[in-house]
Structure 1
């Protein structure tokens, strides 16, 4: 594993451990706002900590958007995505080890901060709502990332802009899907939760990848870049 792939693995593990960990361990105390900030702050930390090494994509939808925008090769995109999924799985494994150490802990249908939709999941929004939310919000998220890291952007502020955008998306959508906008972030917890989290995982792969790809194509076409 080269330095870039190690950075993507570590960064995505941090994202899952901080974000999903906030939901699982501290959710009852910090609420939706606290969970949203945890996801956003994890991106800020990774962006400034490892961004210079790998770009700190931490998300296959972001890497696909970069590919569609002409800012990375197919091989680089595939390598980043593999590292991101590995990192998310490691982060979920660490969270599993911590969470199961609590007396009375039970692995529920959508355990470890897994994404989901429908009856029994948070706001119980249907599959259409979940698809629309994940597609649109990923498009917005990747558009912000491409703009904040592209030509003409303000140097040094990309990590903050990206992290705050992710926090904002969570403030809007935790009750809809738990917020994925990131296939890797969804895959890691679902592998341990199984059940509904695993059976619904397709949506959190397809919708974010489609949204990220469209953001990249729109950016490449010049509509969202200077």
Structure 2
């Protein structure tokens, strides 16, 4: 249950801070500010709940963990429930603070009526490729050979960079739960287009996970004594 609540709270926080930055402060902070809000929110949650649940807070990440054998189907299902309900709660908080959904809730989308007017194909390609790259960062940063203590920083910064590149394409999902919460409350076109932000991230997660499962991206795990501890290294400088 502690892992369930950690994933719920983590996903709630990601949507609250990320979509909240877009809805409540978008004009002031701009694209870079929104991107950093998503990245910093994930970075903070990685260190806050990472030791409890691994801080997936993303159904695509949990799918990748299942494909690579790091979690069971039952665990993945419970994580998904926590993530989707957490995202919905986070979007509801943004709506309550913003005083309604008239201005949107940072929902994802594509087409002539959305942001940069990118097409369905361009949006699908973006979400698939970026999710695959995001999953590669996560799986690599949390692998046995990774530098100890650096995963949260790498993952948070990668999400920020993805948002800097793609906010005008789809608003950036790479996370079905993040798309689900705002879309359910906003309805209309956001809900009609929600399928893309389930399908494309799932394909991307599968591609990224396959590279690790079939050892196309892998190395020999280092003995514990040989792994670099960033805290210790900092004191040695």
Pair in the same fold by TM > 0.5: yes
Runs of 4+ in 1 over 6 A off after TM superposition: none
CA displacement, residues 77-136 of structure 1 (integer Å, 9 cap, x when unaligned): 111111000100000010010011xxxx6614xx10000000110000000000000000
Partner of 1:47: 46
State the 1:215 CA deviation.
1.1
Partner of 1:107: 102
C-alpha distance in 2, partners of 1:56/1:213? 19
Partner of 1:72: 71
1:204 to 194, 197, 213: 197
Partner of 2:141: 148
SS at match of 2:71: coil
C-alpha distance in 2, partners of 1:33/1:210? 27
5 Å matches for 1:180-195? 180-195=173-188
Equivalent residues of 2:91, 2:182 under 8 A apart: yes
Answer with 53-62 or 209-218: which moved more: 209-218
C-alpha distance in 2, partners of 1:205/1:3? 26
CA displacement, residues 2-30 of structure 1 (integer Å, 9 cap, x when unaligned): 10000000000000000000000000000
| Cα 1:155–1:121 shift into 2, 3 Å | same
SS at match of 2:117: coil
User: Structure 2-normalised TM-score?
Assistant: 0.91
Work out whether 1:179 is the aligned partner of 2:172. yes
Structure 1: segments with no counterpart, 5+ residues: none
SS at match of 2:195: helix
C-alpha distance in 2, partners of 1:81/1:225? 27
Equivalent residues of 2:101, 2:185 under 8 A apart: no
Answer with 216-225 or 4-13: which moved more: 216-225
State the 1:44 CA deviation.
0.5
2:109 to 111, 116, 119: 116
C-alpha distance in 2, partners of 1:188/1:223? 35
State the 1:225 CA deviation.
2.2
Larger radius of gyration: 2
Work out whether 1:88 is the aligned partner of 2:87. yes
CA displacement, residues 38-61 of structure 1 (integer Å, 9 cap, x when unaligned): 000000010000000000000000
C-alpha distance in 1, partners of 2:92/2:32? 25
C-alpha distance in 1, partners of 2:126/2:149? 30
Equivalent residues of 2:101, 2:186 under 8 A apart: no
State the 1:141 CA deviation.
0.1
Partner of 1:157: 150
